[in-house]
Amino acid sequence: MTPLGTQGTYPYPNEPTWSRSEKVLARTVFDAALKRELQEVMQKTKQMANQINQPSDLWDLERYLTERRKDIDSKYDFRSSRLTKVLGKLLCERRVSEDELRALRKDKVEAIRSCAKCLSEDAA
Amino acid sequence: MTPLGTQGTYPYPNEPTWSRSEKVLARTVFDAALKRELQEVMQKTKQMANQINQPSDLWDLERYLTERRKDIDSKYDFRSSRLTKVLGKLLCERRVSEDELRALRKDKVEAIRSCAKCLSEDAA
C-alpha cells in the first residue's frame, strides 16, 4: 500500500512525479490551450451577439458565458497533482495535440493518453 | 386604522385602487418601457461584444448581462399593489415620459410623480 501523500492523490493514485523542467513544458502546452480556448469563446461571443434579435437571445448569451467561464475555471487547474488529468482532458477534447506533448517524458505522455482514452470512453 | 388587504400594501399603504381600464392603460406604458429597455440592452450588448479583445472583456459582458437581467426582472412587476412604485421608478429613470401617463386618472399621475420624486431624491 502506498502511504498517503507520497505519490499523487485520489482519483489518480498513480499520478507520476513531475520534475521542474517538465512542469515548465506542461505549462507552455497548458497556456497555449487556454489561450486558444479563450480566443474561441471570444469569437463565438461576437458571433452570438451579432445574431441577437430578440430578448431571449440576450439570456442565451449570458448562459453561454457563465457556462464557459465555469468550465474553463474548473478545467485549467495547474496543480501538479492534477496535471495528468488536466492534460488528458485537453487531449480528449482535442485542445492539445499529441505533437505538443512530444517534449514530455514517455511515462507522462502515456499517463496523459490513458487518461484521455478513459475520458473519451466515459463521454461516449 | 385601515383593515389589512383593503388598500395597498407596505411600503405603499396609500396605493390607489386601479380600475380595469386604467390597468390596461398602465400595461401599455409598462410594455413600451420594457420593450425600449430591452432594445437598449440588445444594442449595448452588440457594442460591448464588438469591442471584446481580451478575456476579461468576456466576463465584463457576462456581468453586465446578469445585472441587467436581475434589474429588469425585479423592476417590471405588474402586480396592482406595485403599479405606482413601478411606474414611479420608470418615470424617475426617464424610461416613461409624463406624456405617456397623461391618459391615467389624475390621482394615479400624482401618486406616480410623487413616487418618482421620492426615488430621485433618494438616489441623489
Q: Which of residues 67-96 of A touch B (CB under 8 A)?
A: 68-69
Question: Taking residues A61-76, what's their average pLDDT?
Answer: 97
Q: Which helix (H) or strand (E) holds A78?
A: none
Q: A-chain residues within 8 Å CB-CB of B31?
A: none
Closest residue in A to B65 (Cα) is A62
Q: A83-117, pLDDT tens digit by residue?
A: 999 999 999 999 999 999 999 999 999 999 999 99
Residue B7 near residue B17 (C-beta atoms within 8 A): yes
Instruction: Give the distance from residue A96's alpha carbon to the nearest chain B alpha carbon, in angstroms.
Output: 20
Tell me the C-alpha distance between B117 and B85, whole Å.
Answer: 11
Per the DSSP assignment, residues forming a β-bridge with A9 are A12
More confident residue, A41 or B8: A41
Angle at A40 between CA A35 and CA A46, to 5 degrees: 125
pLDDT by position in tens, chain B (length 124) = 444 444 444 555 667 788 999 999 999 999 999 999 999 999 999 999 999 999 999 999 999 999 999 999 999 999 888 899 999 999 999 999 999 999 999 999 999 999 999 898 877 7
Q: A-chain residues within 8 Å CB-CB of B42?
A: 52-53, 55, 57-58
Does any CB of chain A come closer than 8 Å to the CB of residue B50? yes
Does any CB of chain B come closer than 8 Å to the CB of residue A2? no
Does any CB of chain A come closer than 8 Å to the CB of residue B62? yes
What is the per-residue pLDDT for A3? 42
Tell me the C-alpha distance between B70 and B86, whole Å.
Answer: 15
Q: CA torsion B22→B27→B32→B36, rounded to 10°?
A: 130
More confident residue, A66 or B4: A66
More confident residue, B78 or A36: A36
Contact B65 A61 (CB under 8 A): yes
Closest residue in B to A39 (Cα) is B55
Residue B18 near residue B80 (C-beta atoms within 8 A): yes
The 3-state DSSP class for residue A77 equals coil
Tell me the C-alpha distance between B120 and B92, whole Å.
Answer: 6
What is the per-residue pLDDT for A100? 95
Tell me the C-alpha distance between A81 and A84, whole Å.
Answer: 8
Residue B88 near residue B116 (C-beta atoms within 8 A): yes
Tell me the C-alpha distance between A6 and A107, whole Å.
Answer: 18
Tell me the C-alpha distance between A118 and A89, whole Å.
Answer: 9
Instruction: Give the distance from residue A54's alpha carbon to the nearest chain B alpha carbon, in angstroms.
Output: 8
